Amino acid sequence: MKLASHLFPEKAKEALHDQNLQKALGLLQVGFPELRRRAIANLPDFEALRDQAATIKDHSLKNLDKLTSAFTEKIESRGGQVHMCATAEDARKAVVKICQEVEAIKITKSKSMVTEEISLNEAIEAAGMEVVETDLGEYILQLAGEPPSHIVGPALHKTRQQVVDLFKKHHDIPLKSESGEGLVAQAREVLRAKYFEADVGITGANFLIAETGTVVIVTNEGNADLCRVLPKTHIVVTSLEKVIPTLDDLSVFLKLLGRSATGQDITVYTTLVSGPKDSDESGGPENFHVVIVDGGRSKLLGTDQQDLLRCIKCGACMNHCPVYSAVGGQAYGWVYPGPIGAALNPALTNPWEMRHLHQASTFCGACEAVCPVKIPLIKMFRFWRTQSFDDHITGRGQRFSLRLWAYFASRPRLYAMKAYFVLPLLKIMAGKKGYLGHLPFLGGWFRGRVLPGPEGKRFVGEDRK
C-alpha cells in the first residue's frame, strides 16, 4: 500500500471536518467498546486469558524458527507448499508466479491486511489478471478505489448512502432496496458468480499452528471459505508472527479475538485448513500454497519492540483510541492505523515516514487497557519518540524547547528568576478577561480553546505562615 503517513496532520484536519466520516466514527466509538464490554462481562477469566495469550505469543516468538519449520514440514508432507518471503516484493512475485503457473485469469480474494501491506492487488492486475475482493468492506473499497481504514471493518468510514451511490455506479443490475440488507443482497448476487469463475482464491490467515501444520482463518461472512474451496488453487498470504505452537493454544486466542474485535463470543466462521484436497476428497483446491511475509518483522525479534509482534489484529486498540475515533483510519496513511499502527509502522516501513503517528497520542492508555495480548503500546510510542528525538526526526523547535526547559528547570535560581519576570507579564496579557487568546510557540493550543491566565507569581518560595 502506498505510504501517505507523512500527511497525517493535514489528513487529520480534513477528517475532523468531514461530516460523513464524523457520523460513521460516532457510531463506531459507542458501538464496539460497548459490545466488547458486554462480551467480556460474560467471561470471568478474560483477564487471565490475556496474560496467557501474551505468554504464548512470547514463547512462540522466542521459538519462531523452530515453530515455522515444524509448520512447513507438516504442510509439505500433505502436498502443500510454503514460501518464505523476506520482502513485500518477494511475496508479490511469489503470488504472481503461482497464479501464472496455473494460467489464472480470475482471482477471488478474502480480507487480508498483509495483502494490503504488500500491495498485492496492484501486482496481480499489472500481470494482467483480474482480482475481486469478496469481503463486503473490501469490495466496497475496491469499487471506491480506497485503502482500508480499519483492520477489522475496512470500510467503517463509509456511510450507507455512500455505498448506495457506489453500487449504483458500478453494478449493471438495479438496486432493489437501499437498506443494509438490500446492499448485502446485491453484493452477494454480484460476488456469487465471481466465486465460480475464479481460478485462484487468495485468503489471509489469523493463526498458523505449528503442531498440526494448520492455517486458521476467521471470518464473519464465510467469503474466505468460498474463495478457498471453489478454485483449483488456494494461496494463503500471511505474516511471520502468526505462528503459534498448538491447537490448545488456538482455543485461548479464539476466546479473545472475537470478543476484543466485535464483542462476539466467537466469529461466525472459524476454518482450519491443512493442505490441498486429499485423493479421496471430492472438493477442495488441488494446489495449496502458504506465502509467509517477513516484511521487517524478524528484525524486531529479540529487541524491546518484539512485543509488537504479539498483535492478533483484533482492532480493539483503534476502537478505544480517542485519536482514532476523532480522525478515522485513513488519516494514518498506511494499512495499520490507530495505536498498533503508530507503534508498528515505523518498524515495518521507516521512522521518518511515520514520524507523526506516535506523536499523535495523549498516552491515555486506553489501547493498552484493552489489548488482548497486552502490548505495552505507550512504551512503544515513547521508544519511537526517543528515537525521533535522538535522530533529529523530531523538529528542531521541539528539541530546542525541551532542551531549554531541562536547562532552566535543573537550575532552580535561574528558573525562579525567569518565572519572576515572565509570570507577571503573562498575567497582564491575560488581563481582565482572565485568559490568553494567543501565545507564540503554543499556537496549536489556541485552536478552539483559550488558556486560562496564570496568577502571576510562583507558589514555591512564597512566605507561609
Partner 1 sequence: MAGKNKTKSVALFATCLIDLWRPGVARAAVRLLEDAGVKVEVPGGQTCCGQVNYNGGDEKGAKTLAKHHIRVFEKFDYVVVPSGSCADMIKNHYPGLFEDDHDMKKKALALAKKTFELTVFLTTIAKWTPSHQEIGALKITYHDSCSCRRHLGIQNQPRELVAAAGHEIAELPGAEVCCGFGGLFAIKFGDISSHLADKKCTAIKGTGAKTLVGADLGCLLNLEGRLMALGEDIEVLHIAELLARGKQP
By CB under 8 A, name the binding residues for partner 1. 9, 12-13, 16, 322-323, 326-327, 359-366, 368-369, 382, 384-390, 394, 398-399, 402-403, 405-406, 408-410, 412, 415, 419, 423, 435, 442-452, 454-455, 457-462, 464-465
Q: Nearer Cβ to partner 1, position 28 or 216?
A: 28
Smallest separation (angstroms) from partner 1 to the CB of 461? 6
CA distance readout (Å), 13 to 7, 160, 418: 10, 23, 36
Smallest separation (angstroms) from partner 1 to the CB of 7? 14
92: how many CB neighbours lie within 10 A of its CB? Answer: 24
Identify the bridge partners of residue 233 per DSSP, sorted by sequence position: 200, 287
Question: Do 213 and 73 form a contact (C-beta atoms < 8 A)?
Answer: yes
| Three-state DSSP state, 98 | helix
Strand-by-strand arrangement of the 287-293 sheet = 81-85, 287-293, 233-239, 200-203, 106-109, 130-133
Distance CA 140, CA 227 (A): 17
Smallest separation (angstroms) from partner 1 to the CB of 17? 9
Q: Is 303 exposed, middle or buried (0-12, 13-18, 19+ CB in 10 A)?
A: exposed
Q: Nearer Cβ to partner 1, position 268 or 422?
A: 422
Smallest separation (angstroms) from partner 1 to the CB of 400? 10
Q: Nearer Cβ to partner 1, position 285 or 376?
A: 376
Q: Nearer Cβ to partner 1, position 251 or 398?
A: 398
Smallest separation (angstroms) from partner 1 to the CB of 435? 5
Q: Nearer Cβ to partner 1, position 192 or 411?
A: 411
Question: What's 243's DSSP letter?
Answer: E
Cell of 139: 469490495
Smallest separation (angstroms) from partner 1 to the CB of 25? 11
Question: Do 117 and 325 form a contact (C-beta atoms < 8 A)?
Answer: no
Distance CA 322, CA 324 (A): 6
Q: Nearer Cβ to partner 1, position 35 or 175?
A: 35
Smallest separation (angstroms) from partner 1 to the CB of 377? 12
Q: Nearer Cβ to partner 1, position 46 or 415?
A: 415
Q: Nearer Cβ to partner 1, position 140 or 360?
A: 360
Q: Nearer Cβ to partner 1, position 174 or 397?
A: 397
Distance CA 358, CA 345 (A): 10
Inter-axis angle of helices 136-144 and 160-170, nearest 10:
70
Smallest separation (angstroms) from partner 1 to the CB of 24? 15
Q: Nearer Cβ to partner 1, position 282 or 362?
A: 362
Query: Hunting for cell 511475509 — which residue is that?
Result: 293
Q: Cα angle vertex 194, ends 188, 197, to 5°?
A: 150
CA distance readout (Å), 447 to 55, 438, 450, 456: 44, 10, 8, 24
Distance CA 251, CA 249 (A): 5
Smallest separation (angstroms) from partner 1 to the CB of 449? 4
- Parallel, antiparallel, or unpaired for β 435-436 and 451-452? antiparallel
Smallest separation (angstroms) from partner 1 to the CB of 434? 8
